Structure formats: structure tokens, C-alpha cells
Amino acid sequence: MTDNWYDNKALLEKIDTLDSKIDSLRTDLETTRAMIRDYNNLRQKVEDTASKLNTLMWFVPVLLAGLGLVFTFVNLFVLR
């Protein structure tokens, strides 16, 4: 069985290579975190918009029904 022994220069080169790879991974991780944060913010905005839309979808028919009743009462009692 052969043991791989490296001199100091080779070890330093390997450590430098490993350090640059770690820096690259750190940058990728920061980018991923930013993308996840932006996605979560966008998701919250979509949920808020959906909530407002649901409120509007409930409010418009109620408003139309109320206006219909008002016009009916105006027609029955005021215009006669």
C-alpha cells in the first residue's frame, strides 16, 4: 500500500484550491439565500393580492345586490 505524502508547497496549493472552492460555495449560498428571500417576499405579495381579490369578489356582488334593492325601493315608493 502506497502512502501519498505531499510536500509543503503541494499542501499549500491544495489548501488554496480548497479555499477558493469554499469561497465559491459561500457566494453561491448567499445568492441562493437572496433568491429564497425574494421568493418568500413575492409569495407573501401573491397571498396578499389573493386575499384582496377574494374580498373584492365578495364585496362586488353584495354591492350590486344592495344597489338593486335601493333602485327597487326607489321605483316602488318614490316614483309612484
Q: Per residue in 17-58, pLDDT tens?
A: 999 999 999 999 999 999 999 999 999 999 999 999 998 898
pLDDT at 2: 59
Does the pLDDT at position 7 exceed 70? yes
pLDDT at 22: 97
Give mean pLDDT, residues 61-69. Answer: 92
Does the pLDDT at position 62 exceed 70? yes
Cα separation, 8 vs 10, whole angstroms: 6
Contact 14, 6 (CB under 8 A): yes
Write down the residue that cell numbers 354591492 correspond to: 63
Give the phi and the psi of residue 19 in degrees, each rounded to 5. Answer: -65, -40
pLDDT at 38: 93
Q: Which amino acid is at 10?
A: A
